[in-house]
Amino acid sequence: MSQFFAIHPENPQPRLIKQAAAIVREGGVIAYPTDSAYALGCHMEDKKALDTIRRIRRIDDSHPMTLVCRDLSELSTFAKVDNVAFRLIKNNTPGPITFLLDATREVPRRMMHPKRRTIGLRVLGNRIAAALLEELGEPMMSTTLILPGEDEPQSDPYEIRDILQHELALVIDGGFCGFEESSIISFLEDTITIVREGAGDVEPFRV
């Protein structure tokens, strides 16, 4: 049975943020708000938690996962970024855009596509998510919470609890945060490509 925290979207309660971070560190899978939709998150080193996320989403190891980061200081640790890419990412974060980049050796192999050393990175603007990542002190492994057979992400934390209460360790109610997936921008192979237009402004990446 999952826990359920109602966290204020503008002024997250430190006590609840600390408890949520502890749940992630202990291997729990959580549902939490982002600046585009609700997502599933877990500790980036926890294989069992990742398996739980894949079971919930019914996805295999070829489905890319995203590292959500506190800020750009973590970018160079986990991804190879040239000056052009860094400037574009810096000017368009935080926000609802996922960036596809070549991964460094710091990224756990289980997070990457079996045949490609790439990773999705995102800097979140949602205050609850930002506070949680700050408390964790490291990125969190994440994917949009889209249930099997659905086309849109989940947007109601009460529905999420009802459906997934036996799979999740925690559901964070951060209010409505949207129901659109993030945009995806690829910087792979020295080319800027708009892979998906979703939430977020993709105009700066048109070439």
Average pLDDT over residues 137-159: 93
Q: Name the pTM for this structure.
A: 0.93
Domains assigned to the chain: 3-205 (3.90.870.10)
pLDDT > 70? residue 136: yes
pLDDT > 80? residue 97: yes
100 SS3 class: strand
Q: Are strands 97-103 and 183-186 parallel, antiparallel or unpaired?
A: parallel
pLDDT digits (tens, 9 = 90+) for 102-135: 999 888 777 776 678 889 999 999 999 999 999 9
Average pLDDT over residues 91-106: 93
Q: 142 near 48, Cβ under 8 Å?
A: no
